[in-house]
Amino acid sequence: MRNRDSQTPDGQTFIIPEVISMMEELEVEDALDRGDAPRTVHQSDGGSDDDLTAVIEEISEPPAEEAAPKAAAPSDHSVPNKGASGKKRVSQEDLDIELLSLIKDKQRLHQLLSAELVSKDPALHNGQSAQHGGGDQQHKAASQGETSGKEKQQAQNKSQSSDPHGDQQEQFEPIPSDIDGYLKKLEDAGFHTSFDIVVREMTLGDKRTALFFYNGLVKDTVLTDILTRLTYLQPDTISMNAVHDFLHYYVPAVQVKAVDKWSDMLLEVMSGASAFYVDGEDKAIIIDAKAFPSRGPEEPSLERVVRGARDGFVETLMVNVSLVRRRLRDPMLRYEIVRVGERTQTDVCIAYVEDITDPELIESIRDKIKQVKLDGLPLADKQLEEATVKRGWNPYPLVRYSERPDVVAAHLLEGNVAVFVDTSPSVMLLPTTFFDLVQHAEENRQTPFMGTYLRWVRFIGIMASLFLLPIWFLFVLDPALKPVALEFIGPTKTGKIPMVIQFLLAELGVDLLRMAAVHTPTPLATAMSLIAAIMIGDIAVSTGLFINEVILYMAVAAVGMFATPSYELGLANRIVRILLILSVAVFKVPGFVVATTLVVLILSMERSFNRPYMWPFIPFDLKAMINIIVRPPVLYNRTRPNLLRPKQRDKMPRT
């Protein structure tokens, strides 16, 4: 009953406290007329009684043709001890009857009282409670104040919980209203210290102005055109509200807005915008004329395809979202922006299709990103992943990265959420599973048959990278386990180094070569390959340090790792392979079985944003598992995965 924002069924505002006050006054007056109840509520002054009676008389006003007879009719009632209120008591019985009928018809009562109350001066409503005395009204005011305080506290707590930059709310710091104070304050932001800060002072229409921006982040041709246009201003063309005039009439830019908070202005300028300040105003006009240093879209090096698009993501957020928007021209595609990092204020974009993606998934990702409390994200998406997913020491990736706009657009249509981070050329796709990480865009660029074949070859390579070396090592340690058809497997002689040490040294050697290939200039890459193949491998075998089969199987496992579409998954599989080799060396068959079972159990218990990581294998989904093993034709793949809980299951109308 304390809510002042309630509404009647027809949408009109219904002010509850004023209605309660009127109803109490009516009850008191009716009790005095009957003489059977004392006056237990607060007394009203004459003005309030007159207002109340006017409302009731207006409600019960008869038609024009009936007004004269009623006015001429004598009244049988008189109210003693009322003085000047005798005229009002003449028609009290009629008013009481009309009031009772209105009370029974609640909808009509709400409409009439609302229309009367909202037609009054709002100042009357704000001060009406001050015109009434009495302990009951004071109790109501105290209750209202307590409720209002609780609402303010809840709003403040909500605001603090949504602040992604820390526990303390930043105090409002206004922009100085004089240009000298403005320039003095800019010195705290690095003006006259940092060489890339530019402040262009000019007098336009007898108004001192200052254009503040960072050199290298803005398009100087756009700012020059704007300033050229403003030089034609005359003193009589600018009114007292100069910011309004410049914002709406004179600044010829597409994206402009006014800000009155100093920190907001600094953040916009550091993000690449320009701040236009006018002397005597406590606001600044933000002009969006960004021009970040960037490279053109190129084909991603980790997701190359024989057939398909050659463009990939770059380090500029706007370019990346535009590449996806170009492929997904859906008005339901949403791009939400969040800033993360107390110092870096990195832009993070959450992309999803509103009528497809699960709202709980969107809310979960949004909340996790907003709860990140770091100084900044200079390493972009990898730091954001660690801060949101929090997988601990588990080497397996719980998100999928992609540098291809077509892959991201396809996942958005499935119901996934894409997270763009400014300054990163890769995009996170959430949630993900183990089997999502072993699929490649090339499979969908070929026919269904060839796509299935390529998928199987890739699966075989991934399994070989995991189990080929441990199983071969197990056969060497226990030859009785070898089938008759595999009698040829096994070394004819052992090397000078124990075989388990040979495996570990070979693993470290492959990793060392991989890191060297990353840091080696392209012209020298061929020479490095020859050194690795001839001088290291051949000489190591010739001297008897290694045996041939160790080098052979290690090379096959390395090829399978490089064939894994996800670079992070390939590295995690390498760690599991080393674990299996050590388990076989110590415990042989029981060690291999127990280690493999533990890895599968750990992966089965993992969840990526509340989705099982090993789906559709665990929990088992036959239809989804068939779609993993076989690349289905487009027209046969009509439904979206159950894992994502999409709003719309069907991808296309059934005919």
- Asked if 355 and 324 sit in the same domain, the reply is yes
What is the residue range of 141's domain?
Answer: 16-145
Give residues with Cβ within 8 angstroms of 67, minimum separation 6. Answer: 61
The count of domains in the chain is 4
Domain presence at residue 298 = no
| Phi, psi for residue 384 in degrees, rounded to 5 | -65, -40
Picking from 287, 308, 326, the residue at the C-terminal end of a domain is 287
Which of the two residues, 454 and 125, has the higher pLDDT score?
A: 454
Q: What is the Cα–Cα distance from 282 to 290, expressed in whole angstroms?
A: 24
pLDDT class of 394 with cuts at 50, 70, 90: confident
| Phi, psi for residue 286 in degrees, rounded to 5 | -95, 120
Domain presence at residue 305 = no
- Asked if 496 and 594 sit in the same domain, the reply is yes
pLDDT of res. 349 = 96
Q: Is the pLDDT of residue 146 over 60?
A: no
**Which structure tokens are listed for 127?**
């001060």
Give residues with Cβ within 8 angstroms of 389, minimum separation 6. Answer: 398, 399, 608
Picking from 269, 287, 305, the residue at the C-terminal end of a domain is 287
CB 207 within 8 A of CB 279: yes
- Asked if 424 and 453 sit in the same domain, the reply is no
CB 65 within 8 A of CB 35: no
Q: What is the Cα–Cα distance from 462 to 156, expressed in whole angstroms?
A: 52
User: pTM for this structure?
Assistant: 0.70
For 60-114, what is each residue's pLDDT tens digit? 454 444 444 444 444 444 434 444 344 444 456 666 666 666 665 656 666 666 5
The DSSP bridge partners found for residue 202 are 209
Residues 232-253 as b/e (b if ≥16 CB within 10 A, e otherwise) read ebeeeebeeebbebbbeebbeb
For 519-536, what is each residue's pLDDT tens digit? 777 777 777 776 766 667
- Asked if 122 and 224 sit in the same domain, the reply is no
pLDDT class of 597 with cuts at 50, 70, 90: very high
Q: Amino acid identity, residue 390?
A: K
Domain presence at residue 51 = yes
CB 242 within 8 A of CB 207: yes
Give residues with Cβ within 8 angstroms of 242, minimum separation 6. Answer: 207, 278, 280, 281
- Asked if 87 and 217 sit in the same domain, the reply is no
- Asked if 346 and 469 sit in the same domain, the reply is no
For 476-527, what is each residue's pLDDT tens digit? 888 888 888 888 887 777 777 888 898 898 888 888 888 887 777 777 777 7
Picking from 432, 467, 497, the residue at the C-terminal end of a domain is 432
The DSSP bridge partners found for residue 286 are 257, 275
Q: Is the pLDDT of residue 235 over 90?
A: no
Size of the chain, expressed as the number of residues it contains: 655
Helices (H), 448-566: 448-477, 499-519, 522-530, 539-542, 548-562
Q: Residue 96: which region, alpha, beta or left (left: phi > 0; alpha: psi -120 to 50)?
A: alpha
Q: Is the pLDDT of residue 47 over 70?
A: no
Q: What is the Cα–Cα distance from 60 to 142, expressed in whole angstroms?
A: 35
CB 263 within 8 A of CB 173: yes
| Average of per-residue pLDDT across 616-633 | 92
SS3 (DSSP) at 81: coil
- Asked if 355 and 283 sit in the same domain, the reply is no
Q: Is the pLDDT of residue 449 over 60?
A: yes
Domain presence at residue 5 = no
- Asked if 197 and 114 sit in the same domain, the reply is no
- Asked if 74 and 124 sit in the same domain, the reply is yes
For 194-234, what is each residue's pLDDT tens digit? 999 999 999 998 899 999 999 989 988 899 999 999 999 88
- Asked if 481 and 377 sit in the same domain, the reply is no
Domain presence at residue 115 = yes
For 250-261, what is each residue's pLDDT tens digit? 999 889 999 999
Residue owning tokens 């390395």: 558
Domain presence at residue 164 = no
**Any idea which of 75-89, 299-313, 449-463, 569-583 has the lowest mean pLDDT?**
75-89
Residues 324-342 as b/e (b if ≥16 CB within 10 A, e otherwise) read beeebeeeebbeeebbbbe
CB 15 within 8 A of CB 4: yes
pLDDT of res. 496 = 79
For 261-289, what is each residue's pLDDT tens digit? 999 999 999 999 999 999 999 999 999 99
Domain presence at residue 653 = no
Q: What is the Cα–Cα distance from 331 to 162, expressed in whole angstroms?
A: 27
pLDDT class of 296 with cuts at 50, 70, 90: confident
Domain presence at residue 565 = yes
Report, in angstroms and rounded to the nearest whole number, the Rg of the chain calculated over CA atoms: 38
Closest among 343, 331, 328, 508 to 418, alpha carbons compared: 328
- Asked if 322 and 355 sit in the same domain, the reply is yes
| Average of per-residue pLDDT across 242-251 | 90
- Asked if 470 and 567 sit in the same domain, the reply is yes
